[in-house]
Amino acid sequence: MDTSLLFLIDMFGTAVFAISGVLLAGRLKMDPFGVIVLASVTAIGGGTIRDMALGATPVFWVRDTTYLWVILITCIVMMIVVRRPKRLPWWILPVCDAIGLSVFVGTGVEKALMYQESAMIAIIMGVITGCGGGIIRDVLAREIPMILRSEVYATACIIGGVFHTTALAMGYDSSTAFISGTLSTLIIRLGAIRWHLSLPTFALTR
C-alpha cells in the first residue's frame, strides 16, 4: 500500500480512537488533562507496544509528532462540541471504538509485514495495535477491558488479520488486502454490537 495513503488512514484511526477516549473520559467526568491522557493512550498505546515489539525505534509518534497534534486537536474539538450534549446513545462509544479498531488492525498488519514476513506475527501485531490502546484506556478508567469480556472483540481482530494476510498470500495487492481485512473486522465487530454476540464463557463449577 502507498505509504502516504497508509499514513492518512493511520491519522483517521488515531482521531477516531482519540474520540472514543474523550467520550469515555466525559462519561467519567474527568478534567481536561484526564481527557487528553485517556485519548492519547487509546490512540497511540497499541501502536507503541507494536513498535517496541518489532524494534521500530523511535516509536512512530516520537518520530512524527503529527500523531500528537491530531490527538490534541481532536480532544479540544470534542470537548467543545460535546461539552453539554444531550444524552448520547449507548452505541456511540462502542461504534467509534469499532471503527478505530478495524483501521488499526489493518495498519498493524501492514507495519509488521514491513519488518518481517511471518503472517502469524503480522496478525498478532494487528491485534496488539487494535486492542492495546483500548486495554490501557479501560484499565485507567477502572473498567474491565473489552478484550477480556465475552464480547466478540479480539476474535474480530484475528479474523480481520487472517483476511488481510490471506489476501496478500493469494496475490492481491496490498490496498485490496487492507480493505478486506479492515472491513471484515469492522463488520464482525459492528454485528457483535448490534446483536450482542459473545463467545462462550469459561467457568469452573463446583
Question: Could you tell me if residue 47 is inside a domain?
Answer: yes
d(CA 154, CA 168): 21
Give the alpha-carbon dihedral of 78, 40, 48, 9, to 10 degrees.
10
SS3 content of the chain, % helix, strand, coil (to 5): 75, 0, 25
Q: Is residue 85 predicted with pLDDT exceeding 70?
A: no
Segment 34-51, tens digit of pLDDT: 999 999 999 999 999 999
Segment 11-21, tens digit of pLDDT: 999 999 999 99
Number of domains comprising the chain = 1
Burial of 201 (0-12, 13-18, 19+ CB in 10 A): exposed
Question: Could you tell me if residue 167 is inside a domain?
Answer: yes
Q: What is the pLDDT of residue 82?
A: 79
Question: Could you tell me if residue 206 is inside a domain?
Answer: no
Segment 157-193, tens digit of pLDDT: 999 999 999 999 999 999 999 999 999 999 999 999 9
Chain-centroid distance, C-alpha 163: 17
Q: Structural domain of residue 25, as residue ranges?
A: 3-195
Question: Could you tell me if residue 20 is inside a domain?
Answer: yes
Q: What is the pLDDT of residue 177?
A: 97
The residue with greater pLDDT, 89 or 114, is 114
Question: Could you tell me if residue 34 is inside a domain?
Answer: yes
d(CA 1, CA 76): 32
Question: Could you tell me if residue 202 is inside a domain?
Answer: no
Residue that the C-alpha cell 473486522 belongs to: 185
Q: Which of 138, 10, 33 is nearest to 79 (CA)?
A: 33
Please tell me the pTM assigned to this model.
Answer: 0.93
The partner residues of 198 in beta bridges, in order of sequence, read 151
Segment 101-160, tens digit of pLDDT: 999 999 999 999 999 999 999 999 999 999 999 999 999 999 988 888 768 999 999 999
Question: Could you tell me if residue 205 is inside a domain?
Answer: no
Question: Could you tell me if residue 204 is inside a domain?
Answer: no
